[in-house]
Amino acid sequence: MATQTYNANPTLFAPSSQSFRKNNADTLWLKHSDTDSEEDEDESPIDAQEVFDLLRSINDPEHPLTLEELKVLSRDQVTVEGNHVTVEFTPTTPACGMANVIGLAIMVRLYRSLPQRYKVRIGMTPGSHQHVAQVTKQLNDKERVAAAMEVDAIMESINNCLSTAGRRGEK
């Protein structure tokens, strides 16, 4: 899908310490009904670490590296208050044409993994991109996200990004 590389030589960062929670392993392909069960919620209240673990190993659309390795996403960019989840990410360059894809991958991953009562807002680090307002408005428009998720070509690239998400920080 990408015909142009927006950042050919990104800076790499080592993953932070391993996740302390490895329950439920990979929830990537579980249906909502599975993650929704009372039992599941009782055992693992969702906190910022859990959300970060769900997202940290998503593959960058342009490089065989994770969002964590590229510092597109770090643990302290995730906040959870009640059922409100906020994720801020930092594109590797201000002109990154893949910011929409990265944001959509994060949204889709959380849509598939979190119980429905969780509300996700996505943001970008101020000044990290030339179109912060434009991109974040689109990513937070549920109708636009729903429509994008019905387009095979878009979901193909999203699913590629998500193919590594289940590693949750492990190599």
Partner 1 sequence: MTCSLQLVATVIGHDQRVWQAKWNPAAKLLASCSADRSVRLYHYTQKENAITVDLAAVIETGHRRSVRSIAWAPSGKSLATASFDSTIGIWEPVNGSAGSASTEWECSSTIEGHENECKCVSYSTTGTLLATCGRDKSVWIWEVQPDSEYECISVLMEHTQDVKCVAWHPTAEVLVSASYDNTLKLYMDDPADDWYCFATLKGHASTVWCATFSPCGKFLASCSDDGNIIVWRPTNDDDSIVGDWKEVCRFAGHTGPIFSISWAERNPMDKDAVGLLASGGADGSIYLWVVKPGGTTAEKVACIENAHEADINSVDWSEGEGGGLYLASASDDGLVKVWQLQC
Q: How many residues does the chain have?
A: 171
Question: Should residue 37 be labelled a site residue for partner 1 when binding is judged by CB under 8 A?
Answer: no
Return the range that interacts with partner 1 (CB under 8 A); candidates 2-10, 46-54, 89-97, 113-121.
113-121
Taking the CA atoms of the chain, what radius of gyration do you get in angstroms? Answer: 15
Question: Should residue 171 be labelled a site residue for partner 1 when binding is judged by CB under 8 A?
Answer: no
CB of 169 to partner 1, least distance (A): 29
> How far from chain centre, in Å, is Cα 59?
9
CB of 93 to partner 1, least distance (A): 26
Question: Should residue 117 be labelled a site residue for partner 1 when binding is judged by CB under 8 A?
Answer: yes
Site track for partner 1 across 138-157, x = CB under 8 A: --xxxxx-xx--x-------
In degrees, rounded to 5, the angle at the alpha carbon of residue 63 between the alpha carbons of residues 58 and 64 is 65
Q: Which residue has the tokens 């906040």?
A: 79
Site track for partner 1 across 41-60, x = CB under 8 A: --------------------
The span from the CA of 58 to the CA of 106, in Å, is 8
Question: Should residue 38 be labelled a site residue for partner 1 when binding is judged by CB under 8 A?
Answer: no
Return the range that interacts with partner 1 (CB under 8 A); candidates 13-21, 61-69, 95-103, 116-124.
116-124
Question: Should residue 119 be labelled a site residue for partner 1 when binding is judged by CB under 8 A?
Answer: yes
Contact between residue 134 and residue 33 where contact means Cβ atoms under 8 Å apart: no
Side by side, the strands of the sheet bearing 119-124 are 78-81, 84-89, 119-124
